[in-house]
Structure 1
Amino acid sequence: MNNLEQLIQQWRKWDTNPATLKEIQDLLDKKDENELKARLESRIAFGTAGLRGPMKAGFSCMNDVTVRQASQGLCSYVDKVTPNARHMGVVIGYDGRHHSKEFANITAQAFLKKNFKVYLFETIVPTPFVAFATPELKAAVGVMITASHNPKDDNGYKVYWHDGCQINTPHDKYISQHIESNLETWTESCDLSKVVCPLKQIEQSYFSKIAKYSVAPYGVELAKEPIVYTAMHGVGYNYVIQSFEAFKLPPVIPTEQQVGPDADFPTVAFPNPEEGKGALKLAIETAERVSSRLILANDPDADRLAVAERQADGSWKVFNGNEIGVLFADWAWTHGRKAFGDNVPPNKFAMVTTAVSSSMMNTMAKKEGFSYREVLTGFKWVGNAALDFIKSDHHFLFAYEEAIGFMYGDVSLDKDGVRCAAIFAELALSLYQQKSSCQEHLDSLYKKYGYHISKNRYFFCYDPKKMESIFNRIRSLHNGTYPSQCGSFKIVRTRDLTTGYDDGFETKKAILPTSSSTQMITFYFENGGIATLRGSGTEPKLKYYVEMVGQDKSNVEQTLGQLVKSVIDEFLCPVENQLTPPKDD
C-alpha cells in the first residue's frame, strides 16, 4: 500500500460527513491522483492566525476532520499549559459563512469531551466579541470560526489566548505539535446541551464598556446627519445598531442589499470593503439616495472598518487604512485622553502601529510626546504590544494596521469594527458640526505633521515557490547582494525580516522578530521614501506598500508615483508570468 492509499484509508476512517467523503470518492472515480495528493498529502498549517483555507475534503483544507483535529490539539495544549483551564473554559463564536456553525459545534464537542466549560454563542457574532469575551469571562482560550473578508468558499479558525490577544509564537508551534499527537477522533459527538451561551452577558458588558469612548460627556457638539452603513453580507448590522445606541447616536441607514448575513456574498466578488468603490457601490447608491455624505462599512466578521465620504464636488473619497488611522489617532490624542485627566504626562499615553503602516503616527508621537511602538504586521503583534504598554502603567489610546484594522482603547485587544464604527461616527459628526469634513481635517493634519502619502496594492501570486523566487531575486539584484538603487532612487537602508538582516544597525541584525517562512523586505530611500514588499499570510497575494513624506503635497504625490512605478518595474514585473494584477487594474 503506497502513501496515498494509506492517506485515503485514514480519511475514510476519520470523516463522517457524507459530502466530503463523496468528494474524495469522486476524485478516486476520476483517477485524479494529482488532486488527491494536493488534498491529502499536506496538512493545513496551524499558524499565528490559526487556520484559514478553502472548505473542501482533505487534510489540506477546512472541513469537519481538520477542525476536529485542530480543536483536539488546541484543547490538549491549553489543558497542559494553563492551570485550571477546564474550569476557566473556552469561548467559541462563529460568523455567517457556510459551515461556520457546524465547525463551532465540532470545536465545542472536543472541549466538552475533556470536561471543559464551554461558552458557545447561540448565534452569529462579530469576531471582536470573542476577543472581548475571552478575558471578560476569564476563559482560558477563545476560538472564532471565520475567514474574515476571504472569498465565500473559504473559512477559518482564529484563536485567542486568555488575555484576549490573538495567539502568537511559540503557541502556534506547540499547538501544531499537539494537533499531530491528537489526530485520532476523541468523539463523534457530545451533548451540546451542556454549553453556556454568553450572548446576553457579553452584549450588556461590551456595549456598556465601549460607551466610555463617547465624547458626549465632554460637551463635543455633533451634527445631525444621516450615516449609511453596509455589513457586506456579514454579521455586523445588529451589533453596530447597538454600538450607536450605546453612544446615543441616531441609527445608521442600512444598505439593504448587503445588510443581512449571506454566505454566498451575492453582490460582491470579494466581500472586502478595502477593495474600494467597487465593493462599496451599493452603499454609495444608498447614500446618494438619502443625501448622506458618510458611509461606514464592516467586513463580513465586523472586525475591520472602511470609510467613504462625499466630497464638495459630489465625488466619493474612499479613505485608505492609513488615512483612517491618522484621523483616529488625532481623535484619540485630542479627546481620548480626557478621561484620564490633565495631569497625566504625554509619555504615559501610548499608541501602536505596524511596520507596513504609515510613519505618520511616529511623526505625531515625536511632536506630541506620547509613547509609540512599531510592530510586525498583524494584530497578534499589535494586541500584545498594547498589552505590554498597559502592564507598564501606560494609558493605551489607539492602534491600527493599514489594512483597515483599528483598535481604539483597551476594552479588548484586537481590531474591532463595531466600536470603531460608533467612534468614527462621532469623529465625523463633530467635524461636520464645525463646517469641516474628514478630508479637510486630514489635510490640516498633513499641514501640521507633513504629507505622509502612501500607495498600497497587491499582485496575486498563487505559487509559494514563485513567491520565494521573486524575493530571492530581489536579494541578489546588486552583484549578488541587496539592491542599492531602484530606478533613480538611492536605497540607504534595507531591512529583511525573512533573513533577519537590517543594515540600519551596526550589527546588521534586525530588531523586529523575523520569520523564515514569510517574505518581507523594506527599503528606505535617500529622499525619505519607504517601500515594503511582503507575502500575505492569509491570501495568495504579494503586497507592496510605498510611502513618501514631505511638506509640498504635489511634489510628494509626484515623487510617490515615480517611486511606485520603479518598485513595480524593477522588483516585481521583470519576473515574467509570475504575478497577476487585480482585475480592476
Structure 2
Amino acid sequence: MADLDSKVAEWLKWDRNEKTSAALQALLAQKKFDEVEKILCNRISFGTAGLRGKMAVGYANMNDLVIIQTAQGFLKYLVRTDENLLKKNGIVVGYDHRHNSKRWAELTATIFINAGYPVILFGDVVPTPFVPFTILQYGCASGIVVTASHNPKDDNGYKVYGPNGAQICSPVDKYVQKSILENLKPLDSSWDTSILVNNPLLSNPLEDIISRYLNYINDEISPQSKELNKKVNVLFTYSAMHGVGYKYVQKVCDLVNARILPVPEQRDPHPDFPTVVFPNPEEGKSSLELSFKCADKNNCNLIIANDPDADRFAMAEKHPETNKWKIFTGNELGALFAWWMLHSFKQNHPDIPLNKVYMISSTVSSMICKSMSKIEGFNYIDTLTGFKWIANKALELEKNGNKVIFSFEEAIGFMCSTQVLDKDGISALAQMVTMASFVYNNGKTMDEQLEEIYTKYGYHVTLNSYYICHEPLVIKRIFERIRNIRGENIYPESILNGKYKIINVRDLTTGYDDNQSDKKAVLPVSSSSEMVTFNFENGFVCTLRTSGTEPKIKYYTEMCAAPGKDKGGLTKTIEEMVHGICEELFEPKKNNLKPQATD
C-alpha cells in the first residue's frame, strides 16, 4: 500500500489536468483502491505502433501527463540518435478529430520547441498518411500523429514514424520506452502551450502539403484515365466514417474527375462517432448501414469508404440484378488493386522490365500477388503483419534499384506507391475510382472483374475473423496449449479427428519453423506477440495471432485453386476447417471468448 500511496502522491503532484486529477480523487473517495492500483502501478507501453489506449486517468491510460512523459522521452531519444537532423528539419506532428488529439499534438510541439527544435505542426485535422508523406517531402527527423485510427470513441493513440517515413520497428520502440522511463518528471514548461503563439520555430505545412499531395496523385493517374473518369461519370457514395477524410477526398476526386456523394450523417469529423459503435468499414454492414441507405436513395451502385483517419479503404457494390450489396474483403480488394496497378504500370512504364518490379503483402494476407507474379513475371515478397514491415522492405528493395508498385494487408490497408510509406486510403481511393471507370466502361462490374482475375490466376478463398478476449492470461494459456497440445513442444498434427493433416508449423513467437532444415524461422520473430501458422496437406493455410492494438485473437485462412480450375468445394472445406480449428484450438466456450459480431 505504501507504493500505491507514493504513486497517488506523485500523480497528484505532477498532473495539472483538472479533469484527470478530479477523476483520481473520485476513485480514492469511493475507495476503489484496486482500480487505482491498476491504473497507477501499471504503465501503457510504447511499442512499434507507439501508444494506443483508453483516454482516462493513470499511467496505464492515455492522458496529458502520459503524453508529456512520452514526448519528453522521445525528444531525448531523437537528440541522442540524430540531433543534427532534428535541428535542421525538425519533426512533423499531425492529429485527427478525436477528443484530446489537438491538445496532445500541441503539448508535443511545446516540448520540442522549448528544447529549441523546429516543429511542423498541421493547423487542422489531417489523414494519417499526410504525416509519413511530409517526412519524406521535408526530410524530417520523425513524424508523430495523434490518432486511434478506427478504434472506438473512448480511445486515442500516438503513432510514431522514423526519418525514413516508415513506422518505427523494433528495437527502436524499446529504446524509446527506455528514454520515456528516464524522463518521467514533467517539466513545468511542458504544460505551457502559449509558447506556440507566433513562434518562429513553429510552422504549419497544411496548404503546401495538400498541394504536394495533389501533385503526387496527379502524377499517379494518367491524363487518359482522368478523361475516362469524366466520360464514364460513375457516381460513388462515400463515407468518411465521421473522420477526417472527406475534405481531402473531395479535392482528390475533383482532380481526377471522379464524382462522389458523401453520406451526410458521416461526412464531417465528429469525435463521438454518433452513428457507429465501431467506426471501421472493415466491420462490414454494421458500419456501412447509412452508406447503403444513401446509395439506394440516389441510385448509386458503388460505395467507397475510409476509416476515421483515412489510412484504410473499403468498397461495396450493388449487384445489378439482385440489388444485393457485396462488401469486398480486404483480400478481394487486394486482388483488384494488384491487377490494376500492374495494368497501369505496364501501360505507363513499358520501358521498365517486370523482373525489376515487386509487390508485397503481409504473411496473413491472400497470396494472390504471389500467384500473379508466377504468371506475369514480376517479383513478390511477403513480410510480417504490419505496414512497418512492408514499408521498410519496400525501402530496401527500391534502394537496390527495384520498383515496388503495390503492397497490401488484408485489413483493408493498401500502399499504391512509395511516396507514402504506409497504408493510404486516399491514394487507394483515387486508384479505385479510376479502376472502376475502366471496368464499367468495358461493360463489367467490379465483382465480374474480380472473377476474371481469379479465373486467370487461381481462386483464392479466404475466411478471416476474430474473437474478443480482454484477459491476457487467457490468451497466453490458449497459445501455450497450442504449442504443447500433445506434450511438451508438440504442436497439433491434424484437426477433426485426423481428417485434415498439418504438414508444417511456423511459430513466429518462439522462432520455430519445421519447414527449415535448422527448424528456425526465416521471418523476424517477436516474443511479445502471438503468431502461429499451420500449413495443411490439402493446401489450406491458417495463421492464428493476437492484435497489437485491440483485445482480439485473430485467425486468417486461405485455400487456392490452380489457375483455370473451378473453386468447387473450396468454400465448404474452408468453413469446415475453420470451425474445427476454432473449436479445437481456441475452445471458445471454455475460455469465454466472444466471436466477431455478425451482421
User: Does structure 2 conserve the Cα–Cα contact (< 8 Å) formed by 1:337 and 1:397?
Assistant: no
- In structure 2, the partner of 1:228 is 237
Give the whole-Å Cα distance in 2 for the aligned partners of 1:544 and 1:155.
25
**C-alpha contact 2:227 2:257 (8 A) present in aligned 1:** no
Letter of the 1:166 partner, please give it: Q
Aligned letter for 1:468? Answer: K
Alignment-derived partner of residue 432 in structure 1:
440
Match of 1:573 among 579, 584, 587: 587
Match of 1:464 in 2: 472
1:414 aligns with 2:422: yes
Native 8 Å contact 2:365 2:409 kept in 1: yes
- 1:86 Cα deviation from its structure 2 partner: 2.1
Give me the whole-angstrom Cα distance separating, in 1, the residues matched to 2:450 and 2:495: 30
The TM-score normalised by the length of structure 2 is 0.95
Shift of 1:530: 0.3
Distance between the aligned counterparts of 2:205 and 2:56, measured in 1?
31
Moved more, 139-148 or 361-370: 361-370
What do residues 47-86 of structure 1 show as CA deviations (whole Å, max 9, x unaligned)? 0000000000000000000111111111111111014112
Instruction: In structure 2, give the amino acid aligned to 1:295.
Output: I
Q: Which of 493, 496, 502 is the aligned partner of 1:491?
A: 502
Q: Give a deviation string over 1:77-103, Cα, whole Å, max 9, x none.
A: 111101411221010000010110111
Q: Is the 8 A contact 1:451 1:556 kept in 2?
A: no
Query: SS of 2:296's equivalent?
Result: helix
CA spacing shift, 1:245–1:574, aligned 2, 3 Å: closer
What number of residue pairs does the alignment pair up?
583
The residue matched to 2:287 in structure 1 has which SS?
coil
> How far apart are the structure 1 equivalents of 2:245 and 2:155?
19
Separation in 1, partners of 2:325, 2:568: 20
The answer to whether structure 1 residue 384 and structure 2 residue 387 are counterparts is no
Between the aligned partners of 1:266 and 1:467, the Cα distance in structure 2 is 32
Q: Which residue of 2 aligns with 1:264?
A: 272
Give the direction of change, closer, same or farther, for the CA distance of 1:145–1:367 in structure 2 (3 Å limit): same
- Deviation of 1:220 (Å): 7.6
Q: Match of 2:136, SS?
A: helix
Cα offset, 1:337, TM superposition:
4.0
Q: Letter of the aligned partner of 1:173 in structure 2?
A: K
Which residue is equivalent to 2:412? Answer: 404
Once the two structures are TM-superposed, the CA of residue 42 in structure 1 deviates from its matched residue by 0.9
Q: Say yes or no: does 1:254 pair with 2:262.
A: yes
What are the equivalent positions in structure 2 for 1:151-170 lying under 5 Å apart?
151-170=152-171
In structure 1, what is the equivalent of residue 42 of structure 2? 42
Q: Which residue of 1 aligns with 2:204?
A: 197
Shift of 1:145: 0.2
Measured in 2, the distance between the counterparts of 1:98 and 1:574 equals 35
User: In the TM superposition, what is the alpha-carbon distance from 1:221 to its structure 2 partner?
Assistant: 3.4
Measure, in 1, the Cα distance between the counterparts of 2:216 and 2:549.
31
Q: Deviations over 1:124-179 (max 9, x none)?
A: 00001111011211110000000000000000000011121011111101000110
**Partners of 2:47 and 2:67 in 1: how far apart?**
14
Partner of 2:124: 123
Q: Deviations over 1:400-419 (max 9, x none)?
A: 00000000012111100111
Task: Give the aligned residue type for 1:404.
Answer: I
Alpha-carbon contact 1:220-1:430 (below 8 Å) kept = no
1:473 aligns with 2:473: no
Instruction: For 1:28 and 1:164, locate their aligned partners in 2 and report how far apart those are by CA, in whole Å.
Output: 44
Quote how far apart the aligned CAs of 1:364 are.
1.0
Alignment-mate amino acid for residue 372 of structure 2 = M
- Alpha-carbon distance, 1:338 to partner: 3.3
Matches of 1:525 and 1:362, distance apart in 2: 19
- 1:363-416 per-position Cα deviation (integer Å, ceiling 9, x unaligned): 111221112110010111111111111111111101000000000012111100
Identity among equivalent positions (%) equals 43
2:329 is the counterpart of 1:325: no
Task: Kindly provide the amino acid, as one letter, of the partner of residue 157 in structure 1.
Answer: Y
Distance 2:473 2:301 in 1: 45
Which residues of 2 match residues 73-88 of structure 1 at below 5 A? 73-84=73-84, 85-88=86-89
Name the SS of the counterpart of 1:62 in structure 2. coil
Conservation of the 8 A alpha-carbon contact between 2:357 and 2:405: yes
Cα deviation, residue 429, structure 1: 1.5
Equivalent in the alignment of 2:539: 528
| 1:95/1:124 contact within 8 Å kept | yes
Distance 1:215 1:562, change over 3 A: farther
Check conservation: 2:226, 2:256, Cα contact below 8 A.
no
Contact 2:588–2:594 under 8 Å retained in 1: no
Secondary structure, aligned partner of 1:465: helix
Aligned counterparts of 2:523 and 2:213: Cα–Cα separation in 1: 33
Residue of structure 2 in register with 1:103 after alignment: 104
* Shift, 1:583, TM fit: 3.2
Structure 1 unaligned regions, length at least 5: none
Report which stretch shifted further, 51-60 or 185-194.
185-194
1:249 Cα deviation (Å)? 2.4
Q: Which amino acid aligns with 1:203?
A: I
Structure 2: runs of 5+ lacking an equivalent: none
Amino acid at match of 1:351: M
Paired residues of 2:362 and 2:390 also in contact (CA < 8 A): yes
CA-to-aligned-CA distance 1:447-470 (integer Å, 9 cap, x gap): 111110100100001011111110
SS of structure 1 residue aligned to 2:449: helix
Distance 1:96 1:217 in 2: 36
Distance 1:218 1:234 in 2: 28
CA distance in 2, matches of 1:537, 1:15: 28
Maintained 8 Å contact 1:213/1:336: no
Distance 2:360 2:587 in 1: 33
Task: Give, in whole Å, the separation in 2 of the partners of 1:180 and 1:90.
Answer: 21
Rounded to whole Å, the distance in 2 between the matches of 1:347 and 1:371 is: 6
Distance (Å, rounded) in 2 between the aligned partners of 1:470 and 1:157: 30
- Tell me the SS of whatever aligns to 1:157: strand
* Offset, 1:517: 1.0
Query: d(CA) in 1 for partners of 2:12 and 2:381?
Result: 50
State how far apart, in whole Å, the 1-side matches of 2:569 and 2:576 are: 11
Answer yes or no: is 1:302 the counterpart of 2:310. Answer: yes
Q: CA RMSD in A?
A: 1.3
Question: Structure 1 residue 217: deviation in Å?
Answer: 3.4
* Distance in structure 1 (CA, Å) of the matches to 2:310 and 2:346: 26
Q: Which amino acid aligns with 1:53?
A: G
SS at 1:516's partner residue? coil
Return the alpha-carbon distance in structure 1 between the equivalents of residues 18 and 324 of structure 2.
Answer: 51
Aligned counterpart in structure 1 of residue 288 of structure 2, from 240, 258, 280:
280
Give the equivalent residue in structure 2 for 1:339: 348
1:5 aligned residue: 5
Q: Distance in 1 between matches of 2:589 and 2:287?
A: 30
Residues 401-410 or 478-487, more deviating:
478-487
Instruction: String of CA shifts for 1:161-198, please: whole Å, max 9, x gaps.
Output: 11210111111010001101111112221411222100
Q: Indicate which of 213, 219, 226 corresponds to 1:206.
A: 213
Q: Partners of 1:248 and 1:229 in 2: how far apart?
A: 15
Q: Does 1:543 align with 2:554?
A: yes
Alpha-carbon shift at residue 218 of structure 1 (Å):
6.3
Residue 9 of structure 1: how far off its partner (Å):
1.1
Contact residue 470 and residue 575 of structure 1 kept, 8 A = no
What is aligned with 1:395? 403
Partner of 2:150: 149
Rounded Cα–Cα distance in structure 2 between residues aligned with 1:424 and 1:47: 32
Give the C-alpha shift of residue 554 in structure 1. 3.0
Q: Which one of the candidate residues 574, 595, 598 is aligned to 1:560?
A: 574
CA distance in 1, matches of 2:569, 2:575: 10
Amino acid across the alignment from 2:425: G
CA distance in 1, matches of 2:117, 2:35: 38
Partner of 2:224: 217
Q: Any conservation in 2 of the 1:227–1:295 contact (CA below 8 Å)?
A: yes
